[in-house]
Amino acid sequence: MMRRAFLAAAASSLAACVSTSSTLTPAQQAESQRWAAAVSAKIRSRIYYPRDPASPQPLTSGTVHVRFSVASSGAIYTPQVMQGSGYPIFDSAALMIVLSASPLPPPPAFLLNDDGTLSLRQRISFVPPGASPPI
């Protein structure tokens, strides 16, 4: 639990992906925002600060932007690092965090593409113990 206190995950990109589309009704917009919050909370619950066994000192901070697909069942597919942190250990940990959150709550049907999936982006920030999280 304490290691999670040193981490921050931002849901802003996830919420933006879910949709601010003018084609959604107010009820659909509210439902999509509730779903995005649940997804972000589940991903945040999986965050940990990775340690490099070759280094006694914690790494610096790092932020990773991950893109992934969500099936209608909530299963996560094809996570990819879209913007790396500059530290392979953070980039790998971000992919593992996203995969470990599967399955997510099933997305509302109106958010799905024609192929029955939804593409999302999530920013995951890693902060060493004792440091302030990024804003």
The answer to whether residue 11 is domain-embedded is: yes
- Higher-confidence residue: 53 or 45? 45
Domains of the chain: total: 1
**The domain containing residue 116 runs over which residues?**
2-126
The answer to whether residue 56 is domain-embedded is: yes
* Range 57-60 contact pairs with CB under 8 angstroms and sequence separation of 24 or more: 58/128, 58/129, 59/87, 59/89, 59/90, 59/126, 59/128, 60/87, 60/128
The answer to whether residue 135 is domain-embedded is: no
Q: What is the pLDDT of residues 71-122, one digit of tens each?
A: 999 999 999 999 999 999 999 999 999 999 999 999 999 999 999 999 999 9
- Specify the CATH number for the domain of residue 110: 3.30.1150
What whole-number distance in Å separates Cα of residue 60 and Cα of residue 42?
25
- How much is the pTM? 0.80
Residue 65: pLDDT band (50, 70, 90) is very high
- What pLDDT shows up at residue 31? 98
Q: What is the pLDDT of residues 12-24, one digit of tens each?
A: 446 445 544 568 9
The answer to whether residue 31 is domain-embedded is: yes
Q: Which two tokens stand for residue 135?
A: 């804003």
The answer to whether residue 131 is domain-embedded is: no
Residue 36: pLDDT band (50, 70, 90) is very high
The answer to whether residue 133 is domain-embedded is: no
